Structure 1
């Protein structure tokens, strides 16, 4: 069985991007031509191909001036399987952030780094410097396999973690684009010195007989058209959900035998969070258990899953192109049967797994070989110097002085490891002198478990603020929790500036998703361990109404929770109907019996529905809309 192109779909043309990929000569053009031009930006066609090379063209909306050209700049994203960043690469990224970027580094929620603010004229020099420092940006964006995640904890005495890192690297290697375009454009054809390719992985990439590869092609796995959309993968160990395994297109779970040796992998597939407001055909989805695969067959099974999505994924509608939609439309059983055709034999049954738990590995820990690792909390992943807080300088000093590698986490934090115990105090002093807290108990707990995407001003998809807004949101939530008697309560809060879900808000206990300027869709009911999808509770909440909206929900939580029950589990258990019923009858509190209470009026259900629809349509809060209407009515009287 040999596949060569997507199955034809009657009367439906492939999307424009499919044509661009076909004409790009395996990701060369028009980037190779336009990088030589003395301009500030690329054409729209080049921008689509540039993504495969790890860069997004952006413009800083804060700097827009009417009648002038946009403030064009570029975001560069690195590809770091398992979040591994060697010391020499980190120091180069730190330097590039100052030399060409905006003086910050952004740790991503997929264990890579982003550099923001790079000008087109400096793009080639920046990418070349990363490649020459054993790094890469190839495939960090675009319609192919993205960064392969793995648990970041550097346990040297736990074989399952060693296997997870090894196979995260191997799967990343297996699915790396083979086109020569990357080195031709950014290093003038000179391939960087790199570690010898794993011969087992190299053989697996070329192995065929069931239609998983294209013979004698520059891209044996991807072919001319690459994937229909992005493809996200991770490798983890039983019980460790530090990488949001249910949100991935493909998850491998290490399974060991009684001696602790690698036997094979449980396989999940079909997770993904991107969606579009007001388009019900787009939705967030958690991955399904698919099968078990022995270690000697794992590369062939990965290729079979990739080939199934490559050949049957929707190439006409990019909103419907992720693997999650294929599995949703087909069902798991049909998907499994097609994968078996590519695999060449039946798959084995999924093996039982323990309960999943989220851990962030912050603070000082023993790594099992006499050395230590230190997990450092980074607010929204932004490594910067600001006033007395100088995380960027502190990390540079430590990496320079002690030559330490870093593992980035799926919660955009960082782990320094291979630390000699004798150096612990000195490292602690460097961080403390720069205002960096290392004791997890001293970190604000809401901030510790929160995430936000960059959003405005640079992300072209952002509808509203996220990274710049979430600190204020968390402060207001703290104040409200204190007011209702939940001072020490914390839960997972995530925020994005648009519905694409880069900070994975749909798995949060409390998720904010940008839906209009200064307004958010609110999601409730995810679990603390990210094992359950939240649900949309309200489509548009204006930032001015945050306290009015959350107070009755928090009070209901306090009054009706079970012992030890988390906020997300509570919302999921009682259901939205009960929450709405309580909120509608709730009378706002005042602190100590004094203070300004918000007056409330009740409207009939039919009026409420019309009011809500009008508020959503106009992008206003219902409070503001009622206020305007009443003022006009009373004035007319």
Structure 2
């Protein structure tokens, strides 16, 4: 089996054979979809991912000897987080009709629907596609959803360029197989926006071996990528996209007239790892260089071809592009990309420091209209008790026909809002218990993220989304107790080491390592520009306060003015933190003074009998009697 242009590759992983036999993602999904079963086979599950779906089961419902409670998660392909109103209302309806009555904003700016049964999978995907959406390429060994800053600044050409090129790169790297429409829409090609001519031309332009001219998939070939491939486009200074965690990040570079000149290019980021496998690790992207705007599509193809042809197809744990760059070094990687590109890559241009932004609350678009950033805890759009976010968003989108941008921090931005609509929108949100003032959101919650984990994710080792609300409450209580009431930091939690909520860039990261236990990561920056490091391998969650209190107290005593917790941990180092914690003396609990009084035997016996008849402790009954006597005497 010939997998790549790299002659050194002689054997491949099992999944490479599954992809080769799939007939460009058609089988065995197409055949098994027709079978009256609750789930797909193992081979079909792997191909199903390319169509945007994961087969899962509700692990809370597992019973020994019984079939698993199979269900499917669907993920949208939404470049730059764009969700038109028609698509949003469709997803909302599908979540109630076929799903678990919730939607989840992902950390890659898409929506996930959970709880869909196999028999409803085709109807769900078809409805998404017919209403301006897609799930194609949201999962699998190919380019995933392309990220971009969600802020709809209409008078900022750089932000508009980031959106434009996120869309174009997503189109360039979209699978070309007809399998998706054949399987889910019976061959009907959905109506979609016309692809840009320069994208279509770039896909067919061969360069130096970047495409397969005779294949249904000109860029990917029949084996697609060795592993998932993630891209983002941002503007100088805006790190809302976590640009250092991507396989490829582009930074738009404008001239003084506000015209696009080209792109700074970073490559080799990625966070997934495996516990106790030191050869797997989180890695930040490296600067690669600069290219003119007219060359960007050929440059992207050259990077994809390098990873496609030289990425590890034997060991999937070693298959991400971050390992190729780490093994080769940046210079060798750049040289190989230049071979495919056909010319040298220019030097990387200077940039301002990147800052994290979440765009919550009311903001001006710049064209007279407003946008509203809404914090969604853990990205879960739901109705629960007095909190009715799902109903509120449905009413707003339906009434005002507003588009939405999902954010990389699993929040949502409603935009194109007329100023005379602001009061009505606020009223709807207030009526449904939705907080829209950023200052009214607990900061630990505002800057936290968690993956879904249990009960739906098959990889989860322990809890994440269901656990983090209680954990942030405990951390806040501890900070208040230690006199750090105004402090907050970036908390991220995942139920396994794959890092879907990007915990390795957090100031305080929780990574599931055993049931009820977490590997703890410290020292990331508030702006997600520095990797955290593992501090402890398995912390039982019930020991959280005793673990954190010494380092919080050291932080309070030794921090520099304005220094954040993550920056402090990175500056002082783990040795100093461990030494301080080892010598830390926890305050002794204050004991309440208990006064004793003596009773004669007869009075004590009568008091004991009375307490027993009333079901009260003797001390309580005695205290009540004395209190009543003193009140009567006074």
Q: Equivalents in 2 of 1:180, 1:115: separation in Å?
A: 24
**Mapping for residues 83-482 of structure 1, pairs under 5 Å:** 83-482=81-480
Q: Displacement, 1:4?
A: 7.0
| 1:76-113 superposed Cα distances (whole Å, 9 cap, x missing partner) | 00010000000000000000000000000000000000
User: What's the offset of the Cα at 1:488?
Assistant: 1.5
Query: What SS does the aligned partner of 1:521 have?
Result: strand
Q: Does the C-alpha gap of structure 1 residues 226 and 539 become closer, same or farther in structure 2, counting only changes over 3 Å?
A: same
Q: Deviations over 1:398-429 (max 9, x none)?
A: 00000000000000000000000000000000
With structure 2 as the length reference, what TM-score do the two structures score? 0.92
Partner Cα distance (1:344, 1:210) in 2: 7
2:73–2:116 CA contact under 8 A, matched in 1: yes
Whether the aligned pair in 2 keeps the contact of 1:250 and 1:270 (CA below 8 Å) is: yes
Conserved 8 A contact 2:372-2:413: yes
**Equivalent residue for 1:5?**
4
Match of 2:616 in 1: none
Q: Over residues 7-52 of structure 1, what are the superposed CA-to-partner deviations in whole Å (9 max), with x where a residue is unaligned?
A: 2447x62000000000000000000000000000000000000000
- 1:561 Cα deviation (Å)? 0.2
State the match for 1:610 in structure 2.
Answer: none
Contact 2:505 2:525 in 1 (8 A): yes
2-structure distance, mates of 1:150, 1:516: 34
User: Secondary structure at the residue paired with 1:268?
Assistant: strand
Query: What RMSD over aligned residues (CA atoms) do the two structures have, in Å?
Result: 1.1
Is 1:521–2:513 an aligned residue pair?
A: no
Does structure 1 conserve the Cα–Cα contact (< 8 Å) formed by 2:251 and 2:265?
Answer: yes
Residues 465 and 518 in structure 1, CA contact (< 8 A), matched pair in contact too: yes
Find the residue that maps to 1:553 and give its secondary structure.
helix
Report the equivalent of 1:549. 547
Given that 2:207 and 2:341 are in contact with CA atoms closer than 8 Å, whether structure 1 keeps it comes out as no
What corresponds to 1:45 in structure 2? 43
CA offsets per residue over residues 187-243 of structure 1, 9 Å max, x none? 000110111111110000000130000012100000010000000000000000001
Asked if 2 retains the 8 angstrom alpha-carbon contact of 1:6 and 1:315, the reply is: no
1:506 corresponds to which of 504, 507, 512: 504
CA distance in 1, matches of 2:288, 2:426: 45
* SS of residue in 2 equivalent to 1:582: helix
Contact 1:78-1:140 at 8 Å conserved across structures:
yes
Between the aligned partners of 2:438 and 2:192, the Cα distance in structure 1 is 37
Count the aligned residue pairs. 592
* Whole-Å separation in 1 of the counterparts to 2:586 and 2:272: 36
- Mapped contact 1:453–1:467 kept (Cα < 8 A): yes
The separation in 1 between residues aligned to 2:328 and 2:245, in whole angstroms, is: 19
Highest Rg: 1 or 2?
Answer: 2
For 2:223 and 2:500, the matched residues in 1 are separated by 25
SS of match in other structure, 1:234: strand
- Please say which of residues 189-198 and 327-336 is displaced more in the overlay: 189-198
> Which of the numbers 560, 563, 568 marks the counterpart of 1:562?
560
User: Residues of 2 paired with 1:459 and 1:60: CA distance?
Assistant: 8
> Quick one: distance in 1 between partners of 2:284 and 2:244?
5
Match of 1:588 in 2: 586
Distance 1:136 1:594, change over 3 A: farther
State the distance in 1 between where 2:554 and 2:276 align: 29
Unaligned runs of 5+ in 2: 593-634
Alignment check: 8 A CA contact 1:377 1:413 kept: yes
